[in-house]
Structure 1
Amino acid sequence: MGAAALIKLLQPPVIAAPLGHDVLLPCELQASQDVKITNTPVLYWTAAGDRTLEVDRNSSNYSHVLKKVQWSDSGPYQCKMSIKTSSEESFRLKGTNTTLVIYDTMTFNPSSHNHFLLRCEINVSEDLGFALSVLKDGSLLQGVDSDHGPAVSGAVTLSQTVSLTGGQKYECLLLLRGDLVTSSTFYTKPTAPGGGGESQWSSSVMERVEQIQEPWILYGSLLLVPIVVLLALLTAILMC
């Protein structure tokens, strides 16, 4: 068995990263104890279309950091390495490929057209593995509307709309092939007994209470008028 068969470059199959953030693309070199590497491995990273990335080719850390990722950065990445062993001449290894997917900030609020509907929406890079789920107090809700349409170049919009009813905690989950990527939580007020209930959510119902000051000075003046008149009449009677 050749040395090449005893050395592997391992990469995670998929990585999700928030839009505009840095992301680490891992690459792990695994070699059997029987293999002796006689050079400092020369590292290459390629993106979709076999585009070579600028990396430190003599680094002992085989991972690569992408800065402030944008939608155009989504896609497959592969680490490659030129290696020389004591038993063979130089050869190149290829990693197992990592697919980078990107997601934007999630919004989770009552619909602007109907406050009895709760809408979750997020832009993601084009990957069929993405899915939205909405929970109410831990139970999965059936959506009344969902969408999977284009947003901007290289991204699509996922949305899920559910009925907003009595309850205290709603959660929207962005899943990637069944794993949680990001989530948002929406809380409602407890429904008061006899309050008619379904519209009592704290983020969309605001109560305004105004306190009106009573005109006590005016009331006092009005009460003094008949007293003054009565005293004047009594004085006139006594003088007569």
Structure 2
Amino acid sequence: MKAPPVLYWIFLTQDKIDPLKLWVPSEAYVGRVDRLDNDPYTSNLSILLKDVQWADSGKYQCKVSVNTNRDSFRRNGDKTLLMLYDNLTFNLINHSDSLLRCEVNVSQDARFVLSIFHNGYKLQPVDCAPRDTSAALHYGTLSETISLRKEGEYECQLHLNETLVTNSTFHYHLNDAADAEKNVSVTPPITDSEPSLGPFPEPWFLYVALLLVPVSTLLALLTALLIYRC
């Protein structure tokens, strides 16, 4: 090669004449894009997009231009679709102990589906907010509300086609119908940014203490037997 290959990452907007460039970054991406490997001759041409915004949802494509002693050519990579979603909100509706709502913001894509299950069975919502398809917004809000009728585990799932994207669990214990909210525990989904709980340490001191009881009793009996024989 006469020179290191030239890398282009572009955001495929409707403007095909002058698409937004992520690398080398255009004004919209300055300070938000880094190369994962800065070696000019590396085969890893991946980039890291930081401070992701809803407007970043869409298709991206990589292009590489190469100049050799014999020829010059460009290779186009496959198109990559970036989809975004927010944290799930899964809890009782204010001023109600019988209605449970799940809500989430997602990229504008009809393939995102929100569902609520009870002990593994999909529930029919009593209220399902319409998907906002306004062109002015880069995201939409999915919302489902179900009626709490039985105790047990309720789970809200967000799917993209057949793939489970994220979920949240709601445990409902109706010990007192007049104050049901105090008997509820919510389990949020675990994300990469949240540390997972490790195993609890073994209670070795308790094991040793329990073992000392029979040992001490046996020593006391042996001592008493020796004293009696003497």
- Asked if these proteins are the same fold (TM beyond 0.5), I'd say yes
Q: Which range moves more in the overlay, 109-118 or 64-73?
A: 109-118
Bigger Rg over Cα: 1
Query: Which amino acid letter does the alignment assign opposite residue 23 of structure 2?
Result: E
State the Cα distance separating 1:101 from its structure 2 match: 1.2
What is aligned with 2:189?
Answer: none
What is aligned with 1:202?
Answer: 183
Matched, 1:52 2:16: no
State the Cα distance separating 1:201 from its structure 2 match: 6.5
Q: Which runs of 5+ in 2 are unaligned?
A: 14-18, 25-34, 186-230
Query: Which amino acid letter does the alignment assign opposite residue 133 of structure 1?
Result: S
Give the alignment partner of residue 124 of structure 1, picking from 84, 97, 106: 106
Alpha-carbon deviations, 1:51-91, whole Å to 9, x = none?
111355836221111001011111111011113568x6221
SS in structure 2 at match of 1:72: helix
State the Cα distance separating 1:149 from its structure 2 match: 3.4
TM-score, with structure 2 as normaliser: 0.62
What is aligned with 1:89?
Answer: 71
Distance (Å, rounded) in 2 between the aligned partners of 1:173 and 1:39:
50
Distance (Å, rounded) in 2 between the aligned partners of 1:59 and 1:171:
48
What is aligned with 2:93?
Answer: 111
- Aligned residues of 1:165 and 1:198 also touching (Cα < 8 A): no
Q: Which structure is richer in relative contact order (CA contacts within 8 A, separation 6 or more)?
A: 1
Distance (Å, rounded) in 1 between the aligned partners of 2:153 and 2:162:
22
State the Cα distance separating 1:196 from its structure 2 match: 6.8
| CA shift in 2, pair 1:196/1:107, >3 Å | closer
Query: Alignment length, in residue pairs?
Result: 164
% identical equivalent positions:
43
Query: Which amino acid letter does the alignment assign opposite residue 72 of structure 1?
Result: A
Distance (Å, rounded) in 1 between the aligned partners of 2:57 and 2:157:
21
The within-5 A match list for 1:149-228 is: 149-150=131-132, 153-189=137-173, 191=174, 199=180, 202-203=183-184
Distance (Å, rounded) in 1 between the aligned partners of 2:60 and 2:11:
5
Distance (Å, rounded) in 2 between the aligned partners of 1:156 and 1:59:
41
Distance (Å, rounded) in 2 between the aligned partners of 1:38 and 1:185:
58
Query: Which amino acid letter does the alignment assign opposite residue 78 of structure 1?
Result: Q
| CA RMSD, Structure 1 to Structure 2 (Å) | 2.9
Q: Which runs of 5+ in 1 are unaligned?
A: 1-36, 205-240
TM-score, with structure 1 as normaliser: 0.59
- Aligned residues of 2:7 and 2:23 also touching (Cα < 8 A): no
- Aligned residues of 2:97 and 2:181 also touching (Cα < 8 A): no
SS in structure 2 at match of 1:102: coil
Query: Which amino acid letter does the alignment assign opposite residue 51 of structure 1?
Result: L
Distance (Å, rounded) in 2 between the aligned partners of 1:158 and 1:135:
16
Give the alignment partner of residue 99 of structure 1, picking from 70, 81, 101: 81
Query: Which amino acid letter does the alignment assign opposite residue 97 of structure 2?
Result: H
Distance (Å, rounded) in 2 between the aligned partners of 1:85 and 1:142:
62
Distance (Å, rounded) in 1 between the aligned partners of 2:111 and 2:2:
42
State the Cα distance separating 1:147 from its structure 2 match: 1.6
State the Cα distance separating 1:167 from its structure 2 match: 2.4
Matched, 1:62 2:62: no
| CA shift in 2, pair 1:198/1:168, >3 Å | farther
Alpha-carbon deviations, 1:184-222, whole Å to 9, x = none?
111111x56xx7799577239xxxxxxxxxxxxxxxxxx
Dislocated runs of 4+, deviation >6 Å: 195-198
Query: Which amino acid letter does the alignment assign opposite residue 86 of structure 2?
Result: D
